[in-house]
Chain A
Amino acid sequence: MFADYSWPELGAIFAMQGFAGLILFSVFVLMALGLAIIFGQMGVINMAHGEFMILGAYVTYLMSNLFADHVPALFGMYFFVAMFLAFIASGALGLLVEWAMIRHLYKRPLDTLLATWGLSLILQQVYRSVFGAREVGVSIPDWMMGSMPVTDLIEIPINGIFVMVLAVSISVGVYIMMFRSNWGKQVRAINQNRVMAGAVGINTEWTDRLTFGIGCGVAGVAGSAFTMIGSTGPTAGQLYIVDTFLVVVFGGAASLLGTIASAFSISQAQSIMEFFLSGSMAKVLTLLVVVGILMIRPQGLFAMKLRK
C-alpha cells in the first residue's frame, strides 16, 4: 500500500497524520485529565463525563453568540471568558452531583457507573430541550483561523496548535495541583486510606467534593476547547466516553504520566492507521490492541506500586 506514494509524499503524510494525531491527542488528554482525577484518584466511574464536557461546549457556544451580538469588538477574546465560565459551570454542576448522588455511592463503585449513566441520559435530554437536537458550531475568531505552512506539502492549522497549547498548560496545571499542592497530597492520602486520612484531620468530605468538582470543571474546559475543532450536539459526549475510559485505564488509573502516554500512543496509532485503512478499521484495530495489552497487563502501562 505504500508503493503508490513517493518518499517525500510519504513523509508528508506521516507528518500531517502525525499532526492530526497530535490534535486528537490533545483532545484525549483534555478529556482524560478530568477522568483521571475522578476515576484514578477517587475510583468513581463517571459515565456522565462526556456530558460535563458538552456543558462546557454549550457554554462556549453561548458566549460566542453573546460576544458576537453585544461586544463584537472583543470577539477575539471571547474564548478565554468562555473557557473560564465553562470550568465554573461544569465544576458547579459537579459539586452538586457529588453532593446529591456520588457521596452516597463511594462504597459501591459499580453503582456509580449506573447512576451516572442515568445522569448522562437526563443531561442529554436537557441539552436537547434547551439547545435543540441539531449540532451547533461556534464561529472561530480570526486569529485562530488559517494554517501555518511548514513546507510546501505540510500545513499546520492554527486552532490545532491552540488546542495543543491548551492541553499542555492544563496538564501542567493538573500536575501541580495533584502532586505539588497541599490539596493534592490530601486527595492522594484519602485515596490510599480514607479512614486514616480522616483521622489525621483531613476534611475528607469536602476534599472529595472539591476533587469531583475540579474533575468535572476540567471536563468543561475540554468541551470548550472541543468547539474549536468540531461541532457540538446533545449526544456527542457519549461518543467519547469509552475512548476516554480506555485512555485512563490503559495508562494506569492513578498515574498522570500514564494517562498522557496512553493518550499519545492511542491517538497516534489511530491517526496514522486512519490514512491507510478506513477510519472504522483503524479504530477497531487500535481498540483491539489496547484491550489486548490490557488483558496481558491489566494494571495499565504505568502502574502505581501500591500495596493492596
Chain B
Amino acid sequence: MTRTSFMTRKELIGFLILAAVIFVLLPAVLDSFRLNLFGKYLTYAFVAVGLALCWGAGGILSLGQGVFFGLGGYCMAMFLKLEASTPENTSIQSTPGIPDFMDWNQLTELPVWWQPFYSLPLALLAVVAVPVAFAFIIGFAMFTRRVGGVYFAIITQAFAAILTILIIGQQGYTGGVNGITDLRTLLGWDIRTDEAKTTLYFVNGVLLFAVLLIAQYVRKSKLGRLLIAMRDQEDRVRFSGYNVANFKIFIFCLGAAFAGIGGAMFTLQVGFMSPTLVGIVPSIEMVIFCAVGGRLSILGAVYGALLVNWAKTSFSEAFPELWLLGLGGLFIAVVMFFPNGLAGLWSEKIEPQLEGLFRKSKPVEPAESAAPSSRAAAE
C-alpha cells in the first residue's frame, strides 16, 4: 500500500477555491449585515465538518451534535455573561454582580460551577473540554458495547432532548428558554459593533480552515483509512486486531470538539446562546447541512452549511410558508437521489464533463493524460 500524500493537487485546488470564496468573494459582495449572517453559517460549518468525519467517514450518525454545539456555546456565553455582569452594570439588581436572569430567579449567589468562567483561559478550555468529555462518556458507553447505527442515533437524539429540557427547566442557572443574552464585550472589546462582527467573520474563517486541515490530516492518516474500512466492514477490521471502539470514540470526540468550537464562535458572532440551538430539530438540521454538501467530503460539508442556511434565510424571508416544504423536499431529494450530496454530484457528474472538455480543448501528450487516472486509482 502506498502512503497517501496529505493533499492531492485536486484537493489543494478545492481548498484554495473555498478560501477564495470565504476570504475574498463573500466579503467583497456582501454588506456587513449579510456578512454577519454568513459568519453565523460558518459556525454551523464547524459542526458539519465534524459530522462529515463521524458520519461520512466513520458511519457514526450522531443526532446530538446540537448538544456539543450548545455546550461549547454555553461555555463561551457564560464567560461573556459574567464579563457583562459587573457590579456596576448590574447595580439595579437586588444582588449586583450576578447575571440578570439569576437575579430574576431569586438566586443570591453565583453557583459554584459558574465560578471558573470568570477566567478566559478556563472558559476557552471548557469550550472544547466539556463537549469532548460528554462525547467521551457517550462514546465509551456505546461503542465498547458495540452499539451503533440506528440505536446510536436514537440515543444521541435522546441526549439532545434531555439537555434541552434541562436548560429550559433550570431557568435560574441557565437562563431558561431565553438562553444567555445581552452579551457585550470580550475582554473589553465590544462584540456588538459591525466592525467586530466582520472581524469575527474572518476569525471564523481562519478557525474553520484550521479545523478543515485537522480533518484532512485525520482523513489521510491511517486512522482515516481505518474509519472507512470500519464503516464498510467493521468485523473485518476488528478481526484484524484493531480496537474498533477506540477509533470510533476518538472520531466522535473530535466531531464534538469541532462542534464545541463552532458553538463558541456562534455565541461570539451572534451575541447570544439559547436552547433552540441545542435540541433535536437543530441537531437534525446540522446533519442535513452535511448531507446536502456531501457526507464524504469535508469541503462539501462547508458548502452544504453555507448553502442550506443561505437558502433558509432568503426563502423564509420571501415565502415563510414554503420554507418547510422546501426544506422537507430537500431532505428527501438529497437522500433519495444524491446520497453523496453536492460533492458527489460534482465528482461524479460535473468533474468528468469538465475533464472531458479540457482534454478536447488542449491536445495533451499521452503521458500526461495517463497521470490523472493513475492518481485516481491510487486514491
* Interface residues of A, Cβ cutoff 8 Å to B: 43, 45, 101, 104-105, 108-111, 113-115, 117-122, 124-126, 128-129, 238, 241-242, 245-246, 249, 278, 280-281, 283-284, 287-288, 290-291, 294-295, 298
Contacts and interface: CB of A to CB of B under 8 A. Distances in A.
B136 interface: no
Given A110-B153, A298-B151, A291 B328 contact: no
Given A115-B335, A121-B328, A280-B169, A110 B162 contact: no
A101 B336 contact: yes
A280 B162 CA distance: 9
Given A281-B169, A295-B141, A295-B142, A246 B158 contact: yes
Given A110-B153, A118-B327, A295 B168 contact: no
Nearest to B337: A104
Interface in B319-357: 321, 324-325, 327-332, 334-336, 339
A287 B157 CA distance: 11
Q: Which of A104, A111, A119 has the most CB of B within 10 A?
A: A111
B274 to A, nearest CB: 16
A110 B150 contact: yes
Contact of A125 (B155, B325, B335): B325
Interface stretch (B4-12, B42-50, B281-289): B281-289
Contacts of A117: 284, 331
Contacts of A288: 162
Contacts of B63: 113
B291 interface: yes
B149 interface: yes
B245 interface: no
B169 A119 contact: no
B154 interface: yes
Contacts of A119: 328, 331-332
Q: How large is the interface on B (under 10, 10 to 19, 20 to 34, 35 or more residues)?
A: 35 or more
B165 interface: yes
B166 interface: yes
B145 interface: yes
Q: Which of A118, A125, A238, A295 has the most CB of B within 10 A?
A: A118
5 contacts: A119-B328, A122-B325, A128-B321, A283-B165, A298-B142
Contacts of B206: none
Interface string B121-142: 0000000000000000000011
Given A122-B328, A291-B159, A298-B151, A111 B339 contact: yes
**9 closest pairs, A vs B, by CB?**
A118-B331, A280-B169, A121-B328, A122-B328, A125-B324, A295-B141, A118-B328, A298-B147, A118-B332
A36 to B, nearest CB: 14
Nearest to A45: B150
B161 A287 contact: yes
Contact of B335 (A105, A129, A246): A105
B56 to A, nearest CB: 12
B136 to A, nearest CB: 13
B157 A284 contact: no
B61 interface: yes
B52 interface: no
A125 B155 CA distance: 27
B22 interface: no
Given A110-B150, A122-B328, A284 B155 contact: no
Q: Which of A104, A114, A128, A284 has the most CB of B within 10 A?
A: A114
Given A110-B150, A295-B141, A298-B142, A118 B335 contact: yes
A246 B162 contact: no
B212 interface: no
A284 to B, nearest CB: 5
Given A114-B287, A125-B324, A291 B335 contact: no
Contacts of B332: 101, 115, 118-119, 122
B291 A114 contact: yes
A115 B327 contact: no
B321 A129 contact: yes
A246 B154 contact: yes
Contacts of A125: 321, 324-325, 328
A294 B155 contact: yes
Contacts of B61: 110, 113
Contacts of A290: 158
B44 to A, nearest CB: 17
Contacts of A283: 165
A106 B288 CA distance: 20
A281 B161 CA distance: 12
B331 A115 contact: yes
B308 to A, nearest CB: 12
Given A121-B328, A122-B328, A113 B153 contact: yes
Nearest to A234: B324
B311 to A, nearest CB: 14
A245 B158 CA distance: 9
Given A122-B324, A291-B159, A284 B281 contact: no
B145 A118 contact: no
B169 A245 contact: no
B66 to A, nearest CB: 13
B154 A121 contact: no
B299 interface: no
Contact of A105 (B146, B159, B325, B336): B336
Q: Which of A109, A113, A120 has the most CB of B within 10 A?
A: A113
Q: Which of B141, B145, B161, B334 has the most CB of A within 10 A?
A: B161
Contact of B329 (A43, A118, A280): A118
A110 B149 contact: yes
B326 to A, nearest CB: 9
Nearest to A242: B161
Contacts of B166: 280, 284
B169 A284 contact: yes
B324 A238 contact: no
Interface string B160-182: 01100110110000000000000
B150 A43 contact: yes
A115 B336 CA distance: 8
